Structure 1
Amino acid sequence: MLPPGLLYEEQRLQALQRYDILDTPPESEYDDLVQLAARLCEVPMALISLVDRERQWFKANVGLPGVTETERCISFCTFAIEQEELLVVEDATKDARFASNPLVTGGPFIRFYAGAPIRTEEGFTLGTLCVIDLEPRALSEDQRRSLLALKRQVELLLRLRLQVKQTQERDRQLMESSGDAVFLLDEAGRVVESNPVAARLLGRDAPALLGTSFEELAPESEREPLRRALHTLRSRGTVRLEQGLWSAQGERVVLDIAATLQEVGSSRRLLVVGHDLTEKRRLEQQSIQNDRLASVGALAAGIAHEINNPIAYVLSNVSYLQGWLEELERSLAAVPGFPAHLADVLVEAKEVLSESLDGCTRIRDIVRDMRSFSHASDEALAPVDVNASLDFVLRMAWSELKRTATLEKDYAQELPAVFASESRLGQVFLNLIINAIQAMQSSASRRHILRVRTVREGEHVRIDVSDTGHGIAPEVLPHIFDPFFTTKPAGSGTGLGLSISHSLVRKMGGELRVRSAQGQGTTFSLLLPMGERTLESSSALVS
């Protein structure tokens, strides 16, 4: 355990360090006080001296130009900080404590010293406000009172400094722990500080943001409203707005901003707190898109129903005509001298009816598939025949596929069923096949191939959908499953298809992978578990 004297000294030094004032630049508030002290006490020198472990350092200095500190072991202030009030040395040459002090026997040849201890609210003495003369002298009572009054002003300045420091530290801790993006701007609108959330959202570290104009972080088209908002903030003290900012990756980040004007002494700061709305806006857009798709599905189901009834009549009548024509052909063949050219007409009529029947059957199948695909079926997981599901989707996409590429199917025989939602799995397959067709349509100068392959792989079934299109750039590949990410022209895609497909596959306990080579093509691979899964997976899909 430290002796009481040493224990107090360690606590005193810790108190001094809390003010974080040692070796700071001169400040006019302190300089004014030492000049006033020298004038009131009619001496050439005055100091605000802070006593460190091995030195005394001068926060303010008049009369000792170029001197910022001296060794503590020869300082008068070391004795002064042990006093309750003033330490007054009228003639240092006659005081046993200081007569041989090098500051007395040599330059600056101190003769008179008076020091008023500077104390913290806890009672620790940090240093002194002292006045010095090169001639022996005494202080009047008015001068004593003036020196003590001035030292109280020094104590007040130090308390204010500590409060500001504590406030800044508290603000910094709040910034660091905040879940929102926080920016501290100077009055001109340049970033002075930012927290980790701001750095993460914008993809830039704090040093990169330092000194950046806040307006320049916004897209060009959104800078004028931000400029007006900052002007309002400076004049009214508070402002609220929704603002987009560019990240380093070129993505627009939407923030709900609440900003306030902070005044610390003579300086003004703009505190900007932004709550990230990007995900909320994405979910809103996804909800709108889902509603739109649901409406389109309901419309498609209605149209399919309306087509289904008349096509049934047509199919029935064409089948009847086909049977009637066959019977007519048999009857006429038994008639003697039946003209040969009429026999040729009957053969041609049979071919026309056969083609009509095939076309009507195709329409019926398409309508049936549309109704099945758009039907809001039960989302529960159940065994699904992957090969049959792929054939179903390929029939739906055939009109687009046949004009773009040759279809190659390589289905594993006796492929086990997977445990999935049949309608959702069909949605994933259709999205992958349509994407593949579109990738090949953009490079239609050569004949393309769409390959669809199924194979058993351990306890999973793997489905590969491969195209020979333009491929995906390496820098784009990590983002293709991100919501709203698309490389298609504006209005040509929502950027939700692959994101939703990826989410659906994961909820069915599977995995969606991709590999691509630019100029050669892309392969998406689905791995789906075989056999029954737990009810937990089913509940996750429904949610």
Structure 2
Amino acid sequence: MQIPALPTFESERLIELEELQLSHEPDANYDVITRLASSICNAPIALITIIDSEKQYFKSKIGTDICDTDRDISFCSHAILNPREITIVNDARKDPRFMNNPLTKEETPVIFYVGVPLLTKKGNPLGTLCVIDSKPRTLTDSQIASLRDLASQVENLFELRRNNLKLLEIELLLQKKNEQLRKFAGTVSHDMKMPLANMIVTTDILRAKYAPLFDTQGNNYLSYLKQSSFSLSDYIDNLLSYYESEEQSIEKAEAFELQDLLEELIDLLNINEDYIINLPENPFELVTNKSAVNQILLNLITNSLKYNDKETGIINIKCTQDHAYYYIQVSDNGKGIPKDKQESIFDLFSTATEADNKGKKGNGIGLSTVRNLVQSLGGIISVSSEEGKGATFDFTIKKVSS
């Protein structure tokens, strides 16, 4: 028996193997390949072997209960020394490399062996796809070609895993960066609230105490300063709401009446007589995150009020359900949303119109917040609209499993 030498590329091979993070756990994707290899080659044993620094273990196995073997007696350790070739051993008892190998003397001995090295993109062999029999035999050219094809599929699975690991690493990095950004935005926003409040109060004091000393332009400057401070304060509030919406969860569920929630919102908004709001006709109970639903509806109703150009604004709110979801619709007869803006309306900082009824330009955060909240409740949101005829927002909320 010959103990297999270490390949000249051993260190690089082991680095690639470690990067792949292959577990010893069974995997159905690999088991399909060993079953096919066993069937095509009419071999009682088929293995996908992985060779680490000391052991050979089996990522997938058919026809044996053994989980691993020492590398020194492994047939596959010889096979990876010639990574571009198939190792074929018709009778291990007559091959100088395997004479008196303990594996040839087992109760089910390894007599016939064919191993195809499994290569990385760099050409390093990590193990083999092999078939084994306990008696001398040969394979046809067709069987050998099929074994090569199956080995290439194992290599594809390795590469897919490598790419998935890279994507996971990128995803984790993005999550970390996003969390840092969220904390930064929250901290900056909170720190700006007090100076802004001071600016607004100071503007009012200047106007009350010194207005007669200013000319018209000076008083206009004070008005611009106060208006800009309020706009920035509103922007900060919306930004905070956006990041806080990512912390909402469907798990924070409670039972509440939708009509009661809507009536409270209408009272809060202090809507004048120029608007008609039609609520759902029948009582409707929801079991979900009440705070999230409140913020979703507050944003949608507020938008319907701010961007309505009709003499009498009409807002219709409907709700239905099935076994899995609640379906809520908020529609109005307002300005509507241009068709070229409807796909991007939920993107952060995207706005559909230049200004609302009071001439204030939106900051494009509100509907992004709405989408985040809807997604946190396991649902989706969509919009349909025709300019001049209003907009309809439909969103779903996944029911909480009892």
TM-score by length of 1: 0.36
TM-score by length of 2: 0.48
* Greater length-normalized contact order (CA 8 Å, ≥ 6 residues apart): 2
Q: Which has the larger radius of gyration?
A: 1
